[in-house]
Amino acid sequence: MPQWIDGRALAQEIQAEVENEIGRLKEAGVVPGLAVVLVGDHPASHVYVRSKVKSCQSLGMLSEKAELPADSTTEQVLESVDSLNRRSDLHGVLVQVPLPPQVDARRVLNSILPEKDVDGFHPVNVGRLVSGNAVLKPCTPAGIVEMLKRCHIPIQGRRAVVIGRSDIVGKPLSLLLLHEHATVTICHSKTADLPSVAREADILVAAIGRPAFVDESFVKPGAVVIDVGMNRVESLEQVRRILGEKSERLEQHAQKGYTLVGDVDARRVFPKCSYLTPVPGGVGPLTIVMLMANTVKAARMSAGLV
């Protein structure tokens, strides 16, 4: 029988563990602190940052938000990051992306101190990830691996296919699965006969950013399917095609004018797979809690308590 993976329940489980670790750090005189740099007025970015700040506060962590106007220059953003790098009470620093087009995102992300890079994007941390020695791992990929382990889904010896080669999800996740002894194939928009490659997967990950792109023709019977997509769909016709005429989320669309769907056509894929992550409520909650876990790790390292 196919099963949904409840990302929210798993995130609560991990959050409880993180909260216990924060309590132990506070007993040692250390309060983990996270700073977020937000540039401009990108609506989704504001939503993500509010969620991160709220999570910090709920765990009793120090939370700092540096907001800069949309017309900020690269140098101005670098100055903000530098000031946060120098603060000893902040153990994690992240810059919310996307950045405005005039800002050199690579320079900005590379300016974060590796030991405070809780997103795991700095070249030093990427190198550690490649070599299998990463401490601060990219949050979404780390959350996916944690999800598989906590659901007792075997990784070792399994064929894993990752659709998407981004620096944020596809590439780092492929490395993490490789370190767990999976045989990994990375696919992308130029992959020939993508559905047939995907059907080789015991573990199929969709991280391509295209609504309901992965249908049943991509899925081997009994495969584990992880949907990383988070696509805002405004067309009612498209929502009906993806979710069906009887979906209760049609009411959500009527209220908001949009709804969120994944990269997987869940209605068609679910009957064929063994496990599937829903959107929303699957991978997303794990991303936030793994960010909190990374901040706690950074605080522990800063205090010499590793």
Residues with catalytic function: 52, 96, 119
The one-letter code for the residue type at 184 is V
CA–CA dist 293, 150 (Å, integer): 16
CA–CA dist 292, 268 (Å, integer): 34
> Which residues, other chains included, contact 141 with Cβ-Cβ below 8 Å and sequence gap of 6+?
169, 172, 173, 176
CA-CA distances (angstroms) from residue 160 to 29, 226, 301?
Answer: 43, 11, 32
117 contacts 93 by C-beta, under 8 angstroms: yes
Please state the φ and ψ torsions of residue 9, each to the nearest 5 degrees.
Answer: -65, -40
19 contacts 59 by C-beta, under 8 angstroms: yes
Query: What DSSP string describes 11-38?
Result: HHHHHHHHHHHHHHHHHTT---EEEEEE
Kind of pairing between the strands at 259-261 and 231-233: antiparallel
> Which residues, other chains included, contact 160 with Cβ-Cβ below 8 Å and sequence gap of 6+?
174, 177, 182, 183, 184, 185, 201, 202, 203, 204, 205
Sheet holding 33-39, edge to edge: 62-68, 33-39, 92-95
Query: What DSSP string describes 142-195?
Result: HHHHHHHHHTT---TT-EEEEE---TTTHHHHHHHHHHTT-EEEEE-TT-TTHH
